[in-house]
Structure 1
Amino acid sequence: MLSLTQKLEFNYPRGPLLGLLASIQTVGAMVALPSIGWLVDKIGRRRSIVFGAAWTLVGAALQGSAVHLAAFIISRFLIGFGLAYTVVASPVLLSELALAKHRGTILAYFPATWYTGAIIAAWVTYGTQFIQNSWSWRIPSLLQAFPAIIQITLIWFVPESPRWLIAQGRGAEAREFLIKYHANGDENNPIVETEYTQIKEAILQDAQWKKQSSYLDLVRTKPNRRRLIIVTFCGLFLEISGNGLVQYYLHAVLNSIGITKTVEQTTINGCLSIYNFLVAIGASFLVDRVGRRKLFIASTSGMLLAFILWTTFAALYTTHGTQSFAYGVLVCIFLSNGAYSLGWTPLWAYPAELLPFEVRARGVTYMTGVMHAFGFFSAFVNPIGLGSIGWKYYLAYVAYTFLELCAVWYFFVETKGYALEEIASIFETPGLTWKQRRNFKGPVSYRDVNDAEESGDGEKKAEITNVKEL
């Protein structure tokens, strides 16, 4: 949402031009998508993050210094272009670095910390709205550069993916990583050889049928097509689950229930960001305890209930104009966002777990493309729907969220406790129904080795060395 000062300087953009301002960042990300998977696999996960952050840094500098609307639009395009690389490379790197017992929590922290930036942005804009010149929007614009600077500076303290190192013929470096970070420096720990061998064999097996890497690899085999179903649903549901209504059009929703003052709206936005952050961080601790599938179902069920109540209160407010019904809508906004943050936010990187090494970067890129495509679509549809039919537009979200819940319940599988390479057995075991796949019990996990190492269970460590490799 443009500030009043921006509207004055840019001659009150409206209609398609305002829609372009809201969606051009998504366009930048979509332009980047075709090259992301290739780059992440070619130069590595860390360098790809630096590449993306550098473009974001340039975009933020241009946006903060813009004097014409054209420069402002170009800057948002560049920010979206750069963010696309970091958003794909980061979860891929995290999924490939983490030990199985920690992977769910670590991957959950990644999207949950997005709210850290949202909180800063919300309260910075709250404060700068009182500045009566162009610095009211230039300060928030320039602040976008700081996360990029942090990434470019600190990423070199993060190890490179051992899976990528093995794929590049740098097995000795990968083994050093496993000894240091997965075996607490003990090179004789059986987890080192077990994990190293399993990663290497999985990569070699993928390379046997993959003559030339391309996005077609996502659909060449039945197991990958099964994965693609879930990955597609993730991209769709992450973007169009009602969160876009609040993320991009909160002011319109609040205006519809009589909350029109800028101070009130920015305060609600700031409080909502803090609330979402707390829920998402709390849910991060549940990922490896409760499991992915249960959190997805609970999250989507909560959103469905919230939208039913939201629609009801919005209809009653429209009919009676009573302020208590407006507060009911406001409560439902928090309930809906809280439900989303319970599952969909911390499990953003779930597809990175499902995909094998050779298509992991491309699969996450594909999911990101689905997100951006439907995000671009909803950016135009939401204001039209809200403006044309008001509260009745929420009925579409009730029906949609019900279908989303059905898809999640039927297709989404559990990856709790599996080593990254072990997850392949869920999709590659032939002759199973979806019911059997979502209730699949896989082989003994690396997690058991690590637990045994920490507890001194020699028998358990001996048992794991005999586990059959996939």
Structure 2
Amino acid sequence: MYQVGNVYVIAAVSVLGGALFGFDISSMSAIISTPAYLCYFNQGDTPCVGPQAGVQGGITAAMPGGSWLGALVSGYVSDILGRKRSIQIGATIWCIGSILVCASNGIAMLIVGRIINGFSVGICSAQVPVYITEIAPPSKRGRLVGAQQWAITWGILIMFYISYGCSFINGTAAFRIPWGLQMIPAIGLFIGMLFLPESPRWLAKKDRWEEATQVLALTHAKGDTNSPFVAKEMAEIREVVEFERANADVTYLELLSPKMINRTHIGVFTQIWSQLTGMNVMMYYITYIFTMAGLGDGKSNLLLSSSIQYIINVVMTVPALIWVDRWGRRPTLLIGAFLMMIWLFINAGLLATYSVPPGPEQHFTTDAESMYITGKPAKAVIACTYLFVASYAPTWGPVSWIYPPELYPLRVRGKAVALATSANWAFNFALAYFVPPAFANIKWKVYILFGVFCASMFLHVFFVFPETSQKPLEEVEDIFDDTTPGSIRFLGTPAWKTSVDKRAVRLERGEFDVEDKAAVTHYDSSPERRAEAPKVN
């Protein structure tokens, strides 16, 4: 079958898995405040007030709860069946979940469908970054993996406007149509993956050396198997596979071993911190926030104001796709954490000073809408919310997907990224469930809580997170295994002493230094030499 070799096309197809998550976020955000949803899933004696705050939190959290399990399972599926096939399995599961959600006749069926959808998202969100990381050249790896986040933002934006348009329909079709249309990107993902190559590093790990070389040549050298860059990459892959062949069978427990625990904790906390920024709170419950800021008088006014932040999210992700490999991972994360902390603390101060308890004239529909603020302070809250999104979109949004797959050696990468991504979904689940009752009980202090998290992540990144930008995956090992003076045992090179590796672009252009030429001669692309490659069980 014909295989696509352009890495940008490969990334564009595979990141459709990210669009699935985006579709879910905005379909829930746009629908939970509509009369059709509130009336059909109503609880209590008062008509059309919708689910109680705790139940709505459970409905929203069902998807990330399923994603947590899907992410953990994806490590085994990916190592056994391959990165490509595991993504296709995720796409198939998404269609099943969307059918159940679309046909929901009550809260229980809705939750079950969202759990199944979440299982799919967990698989795709964990393995799409791994797949792109293992197939992309080092100099483009950041922007290609970051496209996962861009796909999420596009999914949010597109589904928001679909949901907004359908909100004018009378009856349950107002939410059934958007939930049914969620299947379209999953179908496109499944079909598109048929024409993409498998990860060359996974092929090498399975002793399929000829195929691995062909894929590297196809994606990095326009089919030229004699390319010096392809030879360099294969030399490094072969050396790693040979070193790791005795440890081919990996369990999650190995990720907690002394030599691996540092990078495991960094990968896990990258995903945890991305949730504790509070960004998904803004996405899931933005209608609550803007209603409290006085934009809830008209449905069109509220939903269109909410959509502005989705547009900001799409547009502001673009700079990261263009420059994140040049900026580096560390500066991007540090700047993002600092700016988000500022906007969160300002919002906390505004709401603490100027908000009042809502009265009956506000016609609020849920306990989570526990404050009311008007005038210039309300406009400032809205502005800081937009600035928060603009700060997250080019920083923690894409880098939280780019960074974890770069940290781990080949033999553990599938399971390690699955574990890190499962942490993302565990905290996503907790926050989705926690935020409505939190707004109901501690009100503006929710912003203080997330502001403190942003301050904590700034310090954590500065002291612990090393720079991995533009480094070949096999060379990232040196950061953590560094034994030179000044390094710390099991921690490797101090994070603040690491920097962006500028050699990647030179290597792809064929500008090799003496050390690089030695590595190339270590690998012979002839069939006879490849036949001597180590066998991996």
**Where on the TM-score scale, by shorter chain, does this alignment land: which range?**
over 0.9
Given the alignment, which residue of 303, 310, 313 partners 2:347? Answer: 310
Relative distance call for 1:321 and 1:154 in structure 2 (3 A) is: closer
Query: Displacement, 1:299?
Result: 0.9
Given the alignment, which residue of 463, 481, 503 partners 1:428? Answer: 481
Query: Displacement, 1:203?
Result: 2.1
Which residue type is aligned with residue 218 of structure 1?
L
List per-residue Cα deviations over 1:152-176 (Å, max 9, x = no partner).
1101121110000011111001111
Moved more, 86-95 or 422-431: 422-431
Relative distance call for 1:321 and 1:182 in structure 2 (3 A) is: closer
List per-residue Cα deviations over 1:311-355 (Å, max 9, x = no partner).
222234317955111000000001111111121111122100111
After superposition, residues 359-378 of structure 1 pair within 5 angstroms as 359-378=412-431
State TM-score, norm by structure 1: 0.93
Find the residue that maps to 1:465 and give its secondary structure.
helix
1:193 and 2:231 matched: yes
Q: Which residue of 2 aligns with 1:283?
A: 320
Given the alignment, which residue of 50, 55, 73 partners 2:93? Answer: 55
Given the alignment, which residue of 229, 253, 257 partners 2:289? Answer: 253
Which residue type is aligned with residue 394 of structure 1?
Y
Relative distance call for 1:135 and 1:311 in structure 2 (3 A) is: same
- The separation in 2 between residues aligned to 1:180 and 1:377, in whole angstroms, is 43
Q: Which residue of 2 aligns with 1:324?
A: 376
Query: Displacement, 1:229?
Result: 2.1
Q: Which residue of 1 aligns with 2:308?
A: 271
Q: Which residue of 2 aligns with 1:65?
A: 103
- The separation in 2 between residues aligned to 1:33 and 1:114, in whole angstroms, is 17
Which residue type is aligned with residue 153 of structure 1?
I
Structure 2: unaligned runs, 5 residues or longer: 1-27, 43-49, 357-371, 523-537
Given the alignment, which residue of 187, 192, 198 partners 1:149? Answer: 187
State TM-score, norm by structure 2: 0.81
Q: Is the 8 A contact 1:419 1:447 kept in 2?
A: no
Moved more, 34-43 or 257-266: 257-266
Query: Displacement, 1:467?
Result: 4.8
Q: Which residue of 1 aligns with 2:532?
A: none
After superposition, residues 31-430 of structure 1 pair within 5 angstroms as 31-208=69-246, 210=247, 212-222=249-259, 224-260=260-296, 261-318=298-355, 321-349=373-401, 350-430=403-483
Which residue type is aligned with residue 323 of structure 2?
L
Which residue type is aligned with residue 427 of structure 1?
F
Given the alignment, which residue of 49, 57, 64 partners 1:19? Answer: 57
List per-residue Cα deviations over 1:198-230 (Å, max 9, x = no partner).
11211232233x2631001112242x2110121
List per-residue Cα deviations over 1:360-402 (Å, max 9, x = no partner).
1111111121112212221232222211232233222222211
Q: Is the 8 A contact 1:279 1:338 kept in 2?
A: yes
Which residue type is aligned with residue 9 of structure 1?
Y
- The separation in 1 between residues aligned to 2:445 and 2:108, in whole angstroms, is 36
- The separation in 2 between residues aligned to 1:430 and 1:422, in whole angstroms, is 14
Relative distance call for 1:444 and 1:203 in structure 2 (3 A) is: farther
- The separation in 1 between residues aligned to 2:239 and 2:501, in whole angstroms, is 16
Query: Displacement, 1:82?
Result: 1.2
Which residue type is aligned with residue 334 of structure 2?
I
Query: Displacement, 1:89?
Result: 1.3
- The separation in 1 between residues aligned to 2:55 and 2:281, in whole angstroms, is 19
1:7 and 2:38 matched: yes
List per-residue Cα deviations over 1:267-317 (Å, max 9, x = no partner).
122211111111012221111111111111111111011112222222343
Relative distance call for 1:139 and 1:317 in structure 2 (3 A) is: same
Which residue type is aligned with residue 249 of structure 1?
Y
List per-residue Cα deviations over 1:170-189 (Å, max 9, x = no partner).
10011111222212333332
- The separation in 1 between residues aligned to 2:58 and 2:349, in whole angstroms, is 32
Find the residue that maps to 2:331 and give its secondary structure.
helix
Tell me how large the CA RMSD over aligned residues is.
2.1
List per-residue Cα deviations over 1:235-288 (Å, max 9, x = no partner).
211111111321122122122222213222211222111111110122211111
Which residue type is aligned with residue 251 of structure 1?
T
- The separation in 1 between residues aligned to 2:439 and 2:478, in whole angstroms, is 45
Moved more, 61-70 or 303-312: 61-70
Q: Which residue of 1 aligns with 2:66?
A: 28
Q: Which residue of 1 aligns with 2:25?
A: none
- The separation in 2 between residues aligned to 1:441 and 1:309, in whole angstroms, is 33
Query: Displacement, 1:36?
Result: 1.4
Q: Which residue of 1 aligns with 2:19?
A: none
Query: Displacement, 1:100?
Result: 0.7
- The separation in 1 between residues aligned to 2:449 and 2:504, in whole angstroms, is 44
Structure 1: unaligned runs, 5 residues or longer: none
More helix by share: 1
Which residue type is aligned with residue 246 of structure 1?
M
List per-residue Cα deviations over 1:89-123 (Å, max 9, x = no partner).
11100000000111111111111221111001111
Q: Is the 8 A contact 2:164 2:303 kept in 1?
A: yes
List per-residue Cα deviations over 1:18-45 (Å, max 9, x = no partner).
2221111122222334421111010001
- The separation in 2 between residues aligned to 1:437 and 1:401, in whole angstroms, is 19
Which residue type is aligned with residue 81 of structure 2?
I
Relative distance call for 1:184 and 1:461 in structure 2 (3 A) is: farther
